[in-house]
Amino acid sequence: MQRLSRLALLLAVTSCCGCTDSTTETPETTAAAPAPFNVEGLPTVEISVPDMMCEQSCVPKVRKSLASRAGVKDVQVDLETKTAVVAVDESEFDVDDAIADLLDLGFDGTHVAGVEPVDPAGPALTPPEN
């Protein structure tokens, strides 16, 4: 019984005097600053990923896919603009392979930003004019 009393007293004391930090943390003070992108000043390729829809799954998938490609030195993915900017060693990086990998992951419509995607079925045939 005496042990139970001591345990209750110990719990009461620690709950009143617990380990608290007097500083208040806010998201602004605890959020990590984003890592600087492409500090080496390498050439970049901007890739449009229109089917990228969420921060939790799509963004990491795109980042991981691109980062795993030969010649990729840095990757920055922006969900808001649905783009990925890749800093590359041009002698090693193959943009067509990177895009093919994203297409295989289900990111349809992925293409180099500013360049219209090519229809894999080819251009539509139009009958010649007589």
H-helix or E-strand spanning residue 47: strand 44-48
pTM of the model: 0.65
Q: What is the pLDDT of residue 70?
A: 96
Report the mean per-residue pLDDT for the chain: 78
| pLDDT-derived band at 20, boundaries 50, 70, 90 | very low
H-helix or E-strand spanning residue 72: strand 72-78
Q: Hey, which residues does 83 pair with through a beta bridge?
A: 48, 78
Place of tokens 């007293």: 9
Q: Hey, which residues does 48 pair with through a beta bridge?
A: 83, 111
Q: What is the pLDDT of residue 18?
A: 40
Q: What is the pLDDT of residue 113?
A: 85
pLDDT tens digits along 49-89: 999 999 999 999 999 999 999 999 999 999 999 999 999 99
Please give the Cα distance from 55 to 78 (Å, whole number).
9
Q: Measure Cα distances from 59 to 9, 54, 56, 77 in Å.
A: 51, 7, 7, 6
In the chain, the percentage of residues whose pLDDT exceeds 70 is 64
Q: Which domains does the chain have, with CATH numbers?
A: 41-112 (3.30.70.100)
